Chains A and B, each alone.
Chain A
């Protein structure tokens, strides 16, 4: 390949040996701790940081014999939809290097799509696994909140984020989930038993009901993406699925609620980066100046979100933003519960548009945020969701997003596999 897609921040070779994943070379997103291997979160603030311990998901990959061959590039601290905000350079989409790979797990998706690895771990706070999976034409799963341990994941927005597997097919994605899922005493939110997902995906699907929320297929969806989505629904119908239009009115509020909550949590979580315990220190006469100087190394998008989060949580504004956002979140969760009472999965285009050109939205954050309209509601509800390759529009990949009820990953991946075979 003539253009370096820059999928990795650091190359390494750890793990390997016997186990269920001994045949796989895996990439791990650079916000997931790897003992002794630099972990930067795509930020200058953590340049040189070598975690003294493995994240639970990394320890489980190693125990299963996976070879971890690199730490993958990402939007700084996971804040972005394009993998352009990394301090270590832009990652490019291997399908067309003039375009972004999506984000924030763009390095993971690009490495999988380019064949540099067999599979990868990403993290998904508002779509950061599913967006790059869709943009690069691979499979990416955001598991149920609480199915996969977050111990050792460097936090951005704890109440929303999950670690998720990515691969070129549903089966490999399920094999990774088999290894990383399940209770971890080091993460108090992670105490559910896992299923056998790889076994489950090959079982036949019968009488699947697919709900399509009109709020996710409206004006914001590009024509080419809409055509691919319509064809995807036809494929599902051919497999015997019943497709229903539904309405989920709360989704109109979801994107704003997501950004208020994510920015609020970010402003608190990123307070720890003061240059004292890890990362390069700051200069200054007293601690305020020194911390502010160390934190001046944050890139623009991180500064934006930390500052907007600080503003939204400050006295006098809290009720207008954070309380409203939490209420909207409850309504979104209810809408998913109600729809999924009567349907097996919710379907929509993963992204309303095809991958941006490199540089296209870097200076227009609001445009970039709007692209997350279909992925962010899922994180507010905490339910599992997968993006599966659905075809191309303008020669660029389009993903189908399928979402199921809490802890229904086995069913979700089975429907995803049936779609993958049928398409």
Chain B
């Protein structure tokens, strides 16, 4: 049976998702991904013209500053910080 996606596709999606996968892992995912995508064919005959009943209302508060997390607390779990900021890897 023709497969929807192969190991190259898996590696491409992994790159898009910024998830490191080894070549072995990518090969391992191929059959599982095809199984799941085959199952999603169940949705093919769902009609395209279904009106979603929208009974939701936005709930907003007044745009006024309120007490928030302190800077120290917000940074407490970061591996690297500098001058009160998170420090990330360099953008090439």
Contacts and interface: CB of A to CB of B under 8 A. Distances in A.
Contacts of A327: 46-48, 50, 52
A282 B19 contact: no
Contacts of A53: 69, 73
Interface residues of A, number: 65
B20 A295 contact: yes
A303 B26 CA distance: 10
Contact of B40 (A260, A286, A306, A326): A260
B78 interface: yes
Contacts of B20: 292-293, 295-296
Given A191-B59, A286-B92, A331 B80 contact: no
B86 A276 contact: yes
Nearest to B20: A296
B36 A307 contact: no
A120 B35 CA distance: 35
Interface in A263-309: 267, 271, 274-282, 284-293, 295-296, 298, 300, 303-304, 306-308
A108 B61 CA distance: 35
B66 to A, nearest CB: 10
A60 interface: no
A259 interface: yes
Nearest to B15: A292
A296 B39 contact: no
A307 B12 CA distance: 10
Interface string A50-66: 10110000000000000
Contact of A331 (B10, B46, B73): B46
Contact of B17 (A185, A281, A287, A307): A307
Given A50-B76, A256-B42, A330 B17 contact: no
Given A256-B40, A296-B19, A277 B77 contact: yes
Contacts of A50: 76-77
B69 A281 contact: no
B43 A307 contact: no
A331 B79 contact: no
Interface residues of B, number: 49
A371 B52 CA distance: 28
Contacts of B19: 292, 295-296, 298, 303, 306-307
Query: Which DSSP category, helix, strand, loop or mixed, fits chain A's interface?
Result: helix
Interface stretch (A79-87, A210-218, A317-325, A347-355): A317-325
Interface string B58-92: 11110000000100011011111000001111111
B32 A365 contact: yes
B18 A267 contact: no
Given A52-B69, A253-B42, A256-B40, A290 B89 contact: yes
Contacts of A282: 89
Contacts of A325: 43, 46
A278 B88 CA distance: 11
Most buried by A among B18, B20, B21, B59: B18
A278 B77 contact: yes
B36 to A, nearest CB: 6
Contact of B35 (A185, A320, A366): A366
Contacts of A326: 52
A189 B48 CA distance: 27
A306 B17 contact: yes
B74 A330 contact: no
B2 interface: no
Contact of A310 (B13, B43, B52, B58): B13
B43 A256 contact: yes
Interface in A330-349: 330-331, 333-334
Most buried by A among B33, B42, B92: B42
Contacts of B13: 307, 310-311, 314
Contacts of B36: 259, 304, 308, 365-366, 369
18 contacts: A52-B69, A276-B89, A277-B77, A286-B90, A288-B92, A289-B89, A291-B18, A295-B17, A295-B18, A303-B29, A304-B32, A307-B13, A311-B13, A327-B46, A327-B50, A330-B51, A331-B50, A369-B39
Given A255-B42, A278-B77, A303-B25, 15 more contacts: A49-B77, A52-B76, A253-B42, A259-B40, A286-B89, A286-B91, A292-B19, A295-B17, A298-B19, A304-B32, A306-B19, A314-B16, A325-B46, A328-B43, A330-B51
3 closest Cβ pairs, A-B complex: A296-B20, A286-B92, A290-B89
